[in-house]
Amino acid sequence: MKKLLVSIQEKPQVYPIIIGEDLIATVDSLFDFGKYSKIAIITGKNIPKKWLTELQKSLPFESFHILVPSSEKGKTIDTVINIWNQFQKLGMDRKSLVINLGGGVICDMGGFAASTYLRGIDFLQIPTTILAQVDASVGGKTGINFNNIKNYIGAFQQPIGVVIDVNTLSTLPERVYIQGFAEIIKHGLIADRVYFDFVTSKKPKDFNTSELTQMLAKSNEIKRKIVEEDQKERGIRKIVNFGHTIGHAIESLSFETDTPFLHGEAVLLGMIVETKISELTDLLPAEDAAIIYERLSRLGLPVSVGKIKGEDIMKKIKTDKKVVKGQVNWTLLNSIGRAIYNQKVDDKIVEKALATVVK
Ligand SMILES: NC(=O)c1ccc[n+]([C@@H]2O[C@H](COP(=O)([O-])OP(=O)(O)OC[C@H]3O[C@@H](n4cnc5c(N)ncnc54)[C@H](O)[C@@H]3O)[C@@H](O)[C@H]2O)c1
Ligand SMILES: [Zn+2]
């Protein structure tokens, strides 16, 4: 019998990212919600009620809401099971829509619950932290932590759109606000020197709404360009992982302490160490490295890992998802604004670089 070979082209789905003020209150004008059988909003217990109320008011018909833990510790399969149970109880079908309203935890976890329920139903992302607005909601990565390892289980699934309402930043606690700048700065470091200079030109709190809106747009443009080239992270997309190999290890280890780091805080520490690795391997000129250390240290974010030990970080990075056959593939910097991926680095150099944040 003849074998039939069918090849299917993977086509990146195009979806809108809408950025501006008062978008939650006018969301009904942005999408055709009428075609959905039901809408469930997933939001977090710590997220101010006013955003949920505003969203529910602006939807064309009554929606349900599911309240879940909104911190990293709750980003687990147990919470996802709870969400699936509620979807089922609410009678959500393949024509239903999920709206994720919250930070990166809610967008990642809600996106994962939606992309696995009934083999995947539509979801809309409404990120409400800087970090989620510039990073977590773009690129179709959804997921949860597993056995204390960050984002170990997940799926690639595109949302129907992303609504970035700058107003939501007004209710952010200062610590959460500032850590969001880590990912913004990362975008400058890996792709655009002029942008890096702009976003590190003032303290995070000193940017006004119009500058913030511009920044959110620029960061999204940078990430979107990179992701469009490489949906499944087989090549160039790996550059967005700058700071994350060390950052994820520090973040995971900090969950076991009583002072866990926020994602952006851990990524900033990771960027300091990975800048040092880039310098020690002669990829990055010392002058650029000096500028990076100076700018990163005056943001108001932690520059030391506290009680976490260097040897534990070394062990943890070997469990990173990007480790292939025991080899860590590093994303490093060539200069401010240019990154390279798939770099192999000797453990001794990594240990030496860790001294920049392990005190
Ligand atoms: N999928 C991706 O590509 C991607 C990229 C980067 C980060 N992430 C993930 O994102 C997560 C971090 O996201 P995050 O920094 O947004 O943290 P988060 O979701 O934990 O939110 C931080 C805190 O802020 C609260 N909060 C959220 N919005 C608020 C608002 N408008 N007003 C007041 N409080 C608010 C939350 O309830 C939470 O307590 C991590 O789990 C990380 O792995 C994913
Ligand atoms: Zn990140």
Q: Which of 146, 171, 196 is the last residue of a domain?
A: 171
Atom from ligand 1 closest to the CA of residue 45: 37
Residue 215 falls within a domain, yes or no? no
More confident residue, 86 or 148: 86
CB of 71 shorter than 6 A to ligand 1:
yes
Q: Which residues sit opposite 44 in a β-bridge?
A: 68
* Mean pLDDT, rounded, for 275-302: 97
Tell me: pLDDT of 203 over 70: yes
Q: Which domain holds residue 251?
A: 174-207+229-354
Hunting for tokens 């520490």 — which residue is that?
Answer: 269
Which one of 220, 241, 274, 322 is the catalytic residue? 241
Dist CA 238 CA 226 (whole Å): 9
Q: Are the CB atoms for 28 and 89 separated by under 8 Å?
A: no
Contact 72, 96 (CB under 8 A): no
- Whether residue 175 lies in the annotated active site: no
Identity at 162, one-letter amino acid code? V
pLDDT exceeds 80 at position 26: yes
Considering the domain architecture, whether residues 44 and 165 belong to the same structural domain is answered as: yes
CB 305 within 8 A of CB 246: no
pLDDT at position 111 over 60: yes
Count other C-beta atoms under 10 Å from residue 316's C-beta. Answer: 21
**What's the chain's length in residues?**
359
Same-domain status, 180 and 159: no
The answer on 79 and 38 residing in a single domain is yes
Is 251 touching ligand 1 by the criterion CB < 6 Å?
no
What pLDDT is stored for residue 318 in this prediction?
Answer: 86
Closest by CA to 98, choosing from 15, 23, 41, is 41
Residue 93 or 141, more confident: 93
Q: Of 114-123, 163-172, 312-321, which gets the smallest average pLDDT?
A: 312-321
Asked which of 171, 187, 215 is the last residue of a domain, the reply is 171
pLDDT tier, 142 (very low <50, low <70, confident <90, very high otherwise): very high
pLDDT at residue 138 in the model? 78
> At which residue do the structure tokens 């967008």 appear?
107
Q: How far apart are CA 176 and CA 205, in angstroms?
A: 12
Q: Is residue 9 pLDDT above 80, yes or no?
A: no
Q: What angle do CA 244, 175, 246 make, to 5 degrees?
A: 15
The sign one gets for the Cα dihedral 295, 299, 303, 305 is negative
Ligand nearest to the CA of 134: 1
Q: Is residue 256 part of a domain?
A: yes
Same domain, 306 and 188: yes
Give residue 107 CA to ligand 1 midpoint distance, Å.
Answer: 8
Q: Give pLDDT, residue 6.
A: 53
Tell how far the Cα of 208 is from the centroid of ligand 1, in angstroms. Answer: 21
Q: Is the CB of 135 under 6 A from ligand 1?
A: yes
- Residue 325's pLDDT is 77
Which residues fall within 8 angstroms of residue 329, CB to CB, at 6 or more apart?
A: 238, 322, 323, 341, 342, 343, 344
134 and 181 inside one domain = no
Same domain, yes or no: 128 and 201: no
- Alpha-helical segments (H) within 308-346: 310-317
pTM of the model: 0.88
- In a domain, residue 311? The reply is yes
Percent of the chain with pLDDT over 70: 96
The percent of residues above 90 in pLDDT, for the chain, comes to 83
186 with 164, same domain: the answer is no
What residue has token string 């008011």?
A: 57
pLDDT confidence bin for 154, thresholds 50/70/90: very high
Whether residue 137 sits in one domain with residue 236: no
Q: What is the mean pLDDT of the chain?
A: 93
- 142, part of any domain: yes
Confirm or reject: Cβ of 47 under 6 Å from ligand 1: yes
Q: What's the token pair of residue 52?
A: 């949920």
Is there a domain that residue 212 lies in?
no
Question: Both tokens of residue 312?
Answer: 């534990």
Q: 163 and 144, same structural domain?
A: yes
- Give the per-residue pLDDT at 294: 97
Active site residue 248: yes
261 or 14, greater pLDDT? 261
171, 191, 216 - which closes a domain: 171
* Amino acid 2: pLDDT: 53
pLDDT digits (tens, 9 = 90+) for 167-184: 999 999 999 999 999 999
Question: In the predicted model, is pLDDT for residue 336 greater than 90?
Answer: yes
Between 130 and 136, the higher pLDDT residue: 130
Q: Which residue has the higher pLDDT, 133 or 323?
A: 133
Q: What is the CATH number of the domain that holds 184?
A: 1.20.1090.10
Q: What is the pLDDT of residue 149?
A: 83
Whether residue 237 is contained in a domain is answered as yes
Q: Does 64 share its domain with 88?
A: yes
| CATH code for position 58 | 3.40.50.1970
- On the question of pLDDT at 321 being above 80, the answer is no
pLDDT for 309 equals 96
Distance 225 CA to ligand 1 centre (A): 23
The C-alpha atoms of residue 316 and residue 236 are separated, in whole angstroms, by: 24
Q: Are residues 164 and 288 both part of a single domain?
A: no
| Domain assignment of residue 241, yes or no | yes
What ligand is nearest to the CA atom of residue 109? 1
In a domain, 134, yes or no: yes
Number of domains in the chain: 2
- Tell me the average pLDDT across 58-81: 94
Sequence-ordered list of residues with C-beta below 8 angstroms from that of 134, at least 6 positions apart, any chain: 180, 183, 184, 187, 215, 216, 219, 220, 223
**AA letter at 307:** K
Q: Which of 262, 13, 237, 241 is nearest to 115 (CA)?
A: 13
What is the distance between the alpha carbons of residues 178 and 100, in angstroms, rounded to a whole number?
Answer: 22
Whether residue 39 has its Cβ less than 6 Å from ligand 1: no
Per DSSP, the three-state class of 342 is strand
| Residue 198 and residue 340 share a domain | yes
Under DSSP, the state recorded for 136 is I
